[in-house]
Structure 1
Amino acid sequence: MSAPTETVLPLSSAERIATYQLLPPNGLAIEVAQATHRINLINTWGPTIIFPGARVLEIGCGQGNCTAVLAEAVGPQGNIDAFDPAPPDYGSPFTLAQAQAHISQSEIGKRVTWHRGKPLREPHRRDDPAGKVEEAGWDVAVLTHCIWYFKRPEELKELLSYLADGIKAGGKVCIAEYALRATEMAAVPHLLAALARGTLEAHRESNENIQNLVSPGEIKEVAMKCRWKLDSEALLVPGKGLMDGQWETRSVVTGRFGWQMEESPSLDDENRQSHMRVESVLRSARAAVLAAVEVIGGIKETRTMDVWTGVFSVDPNYIDSSGLGEL
C-alpha cells in the first residue's frame, strides 16, 4: 500500500502558494514551509485523487494552509468546500476570518467556499448563503492535521460514518495526522510535548490545539468500523523549516504550562488524590520534554514529528459485525 509515484503539484509551486496567505513581516519562509509540507501530503495521495476539476470537501480548514494548496491543485474548474467550526475571531497573529478573506481575494479565491461548522446532516452556517451544499457531491474528503482538534473522541466516528454516504460513489477520504513517532532525534521533544499536552487537555476544558490524541492505528480502526477500507498509506518526515513541532514544544516548556496544570482537574476532596496523581504525571511529562530539548541543543533545534497519511475508500464488502449499527 505504497504512495503513488506521480505528483499532484511540484514542490516549486510552494512559494507561489505561500503568497496567497496573509503574511506577517518576514513570514514568507514560514508559509513556504507550510505549503511545501502540504504539497508533500497531497502528493502521497496522488493525481488520480486530487485532480484538476475535482470537488473537494476539506474538514478543519483553519486559516487555509491546506485549502490554498488544494485550490491550486484542482485548478479553475475545481472547488473546495472548506469547513471549520472555530469562531471567526480565532487564531493568531491573524484570525480565521482575516486569513480566509485574504485567500478569497487572491487568484484562487473563487475556487473556495468557506463554511462555519461541520458538514454533518444538521444545518450549518456558511459565508455564501445563496448556495447549498449537495450531499453525495464531493469527489474526495480531506482531513489534514485536524483530528487532534476534535473535542470528543466520538467526532471522528460520526464524521467518517457521514462521509461514507456524503461523497460520490467511488470517492475517497484522505487523512494526514501526526504519526506519534520521531525518525529524527530532534523531533522527540515535539512527540513528548504532544503527549504532555494531550494528557493535560484530557483533564480539563480548553481551546488548545490538541484536544484528543489519536494514533494512526486508531484512525484506521475507527475508519474500518465506519465502512472504509485503507487503500494506501505513507509516512513523511517533515523538513526542518516546518515550525509546528517547535511551537507545540515551546507551549509546554514555558511557565504557562505549569500554571495550566494547577488549574486542570477539580480540587474538591473527593477528587484530590486523583488530581495529585495527574499533576505528578504532568510534571514528569514536562520534565521529559525539557530533558529532550536539552539533549538536542535547545528548543530552536526542535523539529516536527513524523506525519502519517492514508487514503480510504468505501468497502463494498463491509459487514457490521461490531453490533454498533448506525449512529
Structure 2
Amino acid sequence: MSVSAACISIDDPESLARIYPHQNEKHFPIVLGQMRQRIQLVKTWGIQPGERVLEIGCGQGDCTVALAAAVGNSGHVTAIDPASLDYGSPYTLGEAQAHLRASPIGSRITFEQADPLAFLPRNTETYTTAVLAQCIWYFASPSTLSAILSALALRVQRICVSEYALVAGDPRAAPHVLAVLAQAALECRKPTSESNVRTVMAPREIRSAAEVAGLRTVSEERIVPPEDMYDGRWEVGAVLADEFESEIRESVANERERAVVFAMRDAVRSAADSVKLKGESVHTMDIWIATFAK
C-alpha cells in the first residue's frame, strides 16, 4: 500500500511504517514496533516543523523517517552513517536509503555515507538539532563519543540522545540487559568489531562525556519501549546462538576471561528461561532519552 504526502504525520505510526521498507505484511508488525519507538523519541525531544536536523548513525533510516515527518516540508534531515552501503539486514543501508529517497518524504532527507568526525570539518552547514538515536554502542570507543559531541557543540543549538539504559523497568527485560553485557564482554576482546554492541556506555558515562564537551543536561527521562519492539529478543537470541559460543572460543584466549563470558551467557539463558516459564516473552530494556545544550 502506497502512502501519499498528505498522509504523512508524526501522529500516524502505521503510515510512517509503510514508508519504511519491509519484506511483506508478515514483517510489517516488526517495522511498526520500531517506528512507534522512534516516534516516542522524536516527540520527547520536541522536534519541530522547519528544523534542520543532523542525524548521526542513521543506519537504515528508521529514525530518519520519524524525524522527516516531524520537520515537515519546511525542514530537512541530513542523515549520516559511516557503514558500508552493503551493510545491514534484511535490507542493506544502500537499499533502505534508496527506498526512502524515492518515498514521499525523500525530498526532506539527505543521506551521507561518512564518518561524523570527517564530515563535520568539511561541512559548513549549521543545524538546529543533532540526533544520536541508539547509535552510541556502535562507536569504536568512548573517546569517539566525546570527540563527536565536542564537534557537534560548535555547530548545533542542541544535541538529542537516546540509548539503552541498562535498566529493566519491566522484569521481562532483564535477559536483554544481561545479553548486552555478555556481548560487550566478548566484543571488547576483539581488535575490531562489527557487532551491534561494540562500546557499552551507561547514561552516567554519556552525561560525563557531554560535560567534558562543554554541554549541560537540559532534560532526561527513561521510557519502557513498546511491547512490539523486539530488540531484546534479538539480542538474547544472538547470545544464545551457537555462533556466539564459537566466537568466545576463538576470541577470548585467557582461560579465566573466557569463563567469565561463558558465565554471563549462562546468566542470559537462565534469565530468559525464567521469563519463558511464566509464559511470557523477553522484553526490550528501558531507553534513556536526553537533551544537551551549550
Same fold (TM over 0.5): yes
Partner in structure 2 of residue 158 of structure 1:
147
Question: Is the counterpart of residue 89 in structure 1 residue 76 in structure 2?
Answer: no
Q: Write out the 4+ residue segments of structure 1 that deviate beyond 6 Å after TM superposition.
A: none
Task: Provide the aligned length of Structure 1 versus Structure 2.
Answer: 284
C-alpha spacing 1:283/1:156, structure 2 compared with 1 (3 Å) = same
- State the SS of the aligned residue for 1:296: helix
Cα pair 2:54 2:78 within 8 Å, conserved: yes
Partner in structure 1 of residue 164 of structure 2:
178
Cα pair 2:10 2:16 within 8 Å, conserved: no
Q: Distance in 2 between matches of 1:16 and 1:225?
A: 40
Partner in structure 1 of residue 13 of structure 2:
14
Structure 1's unaligned 5+ residue stretches are 1-8, 125-131, 268-274, 315-327
Partner in structure 2 of residue 264 of structure 1:
251
Alignment equivalent of 1:144, drawn from 130, 133, 136: 133
1:41, distance to aligned residue in structure 2 (A): 1.2
Q: Deviations over 1:21-70 (max 9, x none)?
A: 11112221111111110111122112xxx111100000000000000000
Question: Is the counterpart of residue 67 in structure 1 residue 64 in structure 2?
Answer: yes
Q: Distance in 1 between matches of 2:112 and 2:127?
A: 15
Q: Deviations over 1:236-287 (max 9, x none)?
A: 001110011110110001111100101113x4xxxxxxx1111000110000
- In structure 1, give the amino acid aligned to 2:23: P
- In structure 2, give the amino acid aligned to 1:109: G
Query: If the length of structure 2 is used for normalisation, what is the TM-score?
Result: 0.93
Q: Distance in 2 between matches of 1:209 and 1:248?
A: 9
- In structure 2, give the amino acid aligned to 1:208: S
1:108, distance to aligned residue in structure 2 (A): 0.3
Q: Distance in 1 between matches of 2:41 and 2:280?
A: 24
- State the SS of the aligned residue for 2:288: strand
Q: 1:111-126, aligned counterparts within 5 Å?
A: 111-120=108-117
- State the SS of the aligned residue for 2:147: helix
State the structure with more CA Rg. 1
1:122, distance to aligned residue in structure 2 (A): 5.7
- RMSD value over aligned CA atoms? 1.8
Partner in structure 2 of residue 252 of structure 1:
239
C-alpha spacing 1:51/1:15, structure 2 compared with 1 (3 Å) = same
Which structure has more helix as a fraction of its residues? 2
Partner in structure 2 of residue 134 of structure 1:
124
Cα pair 1:10 1:39 within 8 Å, conserved: no
Query: If the length of structure 1 is used for normalisation, what is the TM-score?
Result: 0.84
1:118, distance to aligned residue in structure 2 (A): 2.5
Task: State, as a whole percentage, how many aligned pairs show the same letter.
Answer: 39
- In structure 1, give the amino acid aligned to 2:271: A
Partner in structure 2 of residue 24 of structure 1:
23
Partner in structure 1 of residue 45 of structure 2:
45
Q: Deviations over 1:56-95 (max 9, x none)?
A: 0000000000000000000011111100000000001110
Structure 2's unaligned 5+ residue stretches are 1-7
Partner in structure 1 of residue 287 of structure 2:
307
